Structure 1
Amino acid sequence: MRKSALGLLAASAALALAASTAQAADLPSRYSPAPAYNALPVFTWTGFYAGLNAGYGWNVGDSRYYDPAFGTSYGKRKGGFVGGAQAGYNYQFGMFVAGVETDLQYAAVGNKGASYGNIYYPGDSDGFFGTIRARGGVAFDRALVYGTAGFAYGDIGGNKGYDPILGHHSGDEINWGWTIGGGVEYAITNNFTAKVEGLYVDIDTKDNYALGGRANVDRDAEFGVLRAGLNYKFN
């Protein structure tokens, strides 16, 4: 009889344990489900862009009298306002960014004239220049440090000759050269970026003074440009 009582007790305990386990299985889990994260879009420099810029240009040439760009007389270098627009395309692969950019700049050099001997005869209009450049750099998330180089062109000055008897004669023309520089650009938002950029520009301007062996003599327009710009990046 004792064995029967022990067996009944064991069976009752087993039944109670099974019922408790089944009830616990129906209860909600104590652990919360894994949170679902919506990843924020990663900024990329890839895409087309366009914008405006403004800055300052100054002569860096070694002209003895007047340099065709921005003017210099007896070693005194001068400068002036430059401003314009730019457009380009970037492609980002990893941390590296490569692209192309072109710009067209108004140059308030006030120096489209000619030098005859040690006398300067000022022109009557300001000049312009533009560039077509490759860009390459390294991106640190929204910051881009880059170098740039390419072609330059423009009518920056020095294209008027002077004859003491006949006076001025016009020789306005577009000349070609090269440029190199670099800058830093930062993405303020996903669409707007701001940059600071410096360029060295060398345009192969020629003297068209017809006497004294001065015709077609190279008088390169050499100048530096420091400018700030704002771009809109198209998604």
Structure 2
Amino acid sequence: MGRHSMRKIVASLTAFTALTAAASAADLPRRAYTPPPPPVPVFTWAGPYFGINAGYITTTKDSVTTAGVFPFNDGVLVGNRPAAQALPRDGFTGGGQLGYNYQFTPGSGFVVGAETDLAYTDLSRTRSATGRLGGISTFRQLGNFLGTVRGRVGYAFDRTLVYGTGGFAYASETYRGVFQTANGQPNFYGSSARVETGYAVGGGIEFALPTDSVFNVFHSNAVTVKGEALYYDLGRRTVPLVAVGPGVGAYAARFRNEGVLGRFGLNYKFGS
């Protein structure tokens, strides 16, 4: 066999060996690519929200005090008119709220915001008292809505928010007083209906539910539930009871507007 033929055989064997190795490498199992896990979304309280609330409201300072305007209006002094008449009021409250939160750091961190709400209040009471000389004194106070515009400051522990709140409060109030003689004939009467203003302070705790909660009927970014307590003070209102019929002169009845409420709420948050 010549040298030239030997070289051809060696070259052929080399090429065959290389092809065999390449084919074997192609048949080896490839290492599967494992994508990194998706990032866990971080909850944030930031964004606008709206919701509903319901609870219980009661007055805390609820006595009506009365005094004669002129010296001869001495019904309180002689015990024929009450110097103070308890007028406690309590009942259901329910309404809606609208607000916005800003969170400094997603997840856990400080949250600030503002909220306005308006709620129906079932605050109505009428009471009568009979004086020592037979005079009948009747007082009535009625409140049918309470609204607030408040700031909120709190701290979020991920999906739990603890907050304090305070700001402006206003309410519809109706006052009425009637003094009658022993035989039921009116001799002093006064009435006033107005919107009173003051302040409200309180605090609460709020929890964010899963986005796919059955309560998420509006397909919002989050549904939250809260429990909240507020104290409100709308000041005092003096109502003159002027003479009618056989009456002469006038009395002054001072009503008070302070109370507390506790309520639960459901919010739908949008935005981030």
TM-score by length of 1: 0.73
Report what 1:137 is aligned to: 154
% identity of equivalent residues: 40
- Distance apart, 1:110 and its partner CA: 1.4
Report what 1:9 is aligned to: none
Higher strand proportion (structure 1 or 2): 2
Q: Choose from 191, 194, 199 the match for 2:222.
A: 191
Report what 2:263 is aligned to: 227
SS in 1 for 2:63: coil
Report what 2:103 is aligned to: 92
SS in 2 for 1:196: strand
- Distance apart, 1:122 and its partner CA: 2.8
Q: Alpha carbons of 1:116 and 1:48: their partners in 2 closer, same or farther (altered >3 Å)?
A: farther
SS in 1 for 2:124: coil
- Distance apart, 1:37 and its partner CA: 2.3
Give me the CA root mean square deviation. 3.6
1:146 counterpart = 2:163: yes
- Distance apart, 1:79 and its partner CA: 1.8
Name structure 1 gaps, 5 residues minimum.
1-14, 67-71
Q: Is the 8 A contact 2:163 2:205 kept in 1?
A: yes
Report what 2:61 is aligned to: 61
Q: What is the CA–CA distance in structure 1 between the aligned matches of 2:153 and 2:129, rounded to whole Å?
A: 39
| TM alignment of 1:1-235, pairs within 5 A | 32-61=32-61, 63=63, 74=86, 77-94=88-105, 95-111=109-125, 119-122=137-140, 126-157=143-174, 159-162=175-178, 164=180, 165=186, 168-188=189-209, 189=211, 190-210=221-241, 211-212=250-251, 214=252, 219-235=255-271
- Distance apart, 1:233 and its partner CA: 1.1
Per-residue CA deviation, residues 158-198 of structure 1 (Å, 9 max, x unaligned), is: x3344554554431001111110000111113421111100
Q: Is the 8 A contact 1:112 1:127 kept in 2?
A: no
Structure with higher Rg: it is 2
Q: What is the CA–CA distance in structure 1 between the aligned matches of 2:206 and 2:130, rounded to whole Å?
A: 43
Q: What is the CA–CA distance in structure 2 between the aligned matches of 1:114 and 1:103, rounded to whole Å?
A: 34
Write the letter of the residue equivalent to 2:116: T
Write the letter of the residue equivalent to 2:176: K
Per-residue CA deviation, residues 142-162 of structure 1 (Å, 9 max, x unaligned), is: 1111000001111234x3344
Q: What is the CA–CA distance in structure 1 between the aligned matches of 2:104 and 2:189, rounded to whole Å?
A: 55
Tell me the matched-pair count.
Answer: 210
Name structure 2 gaps, 5 residues minimum.
1-13, 67-83, 181-185, 212-220, 242-249
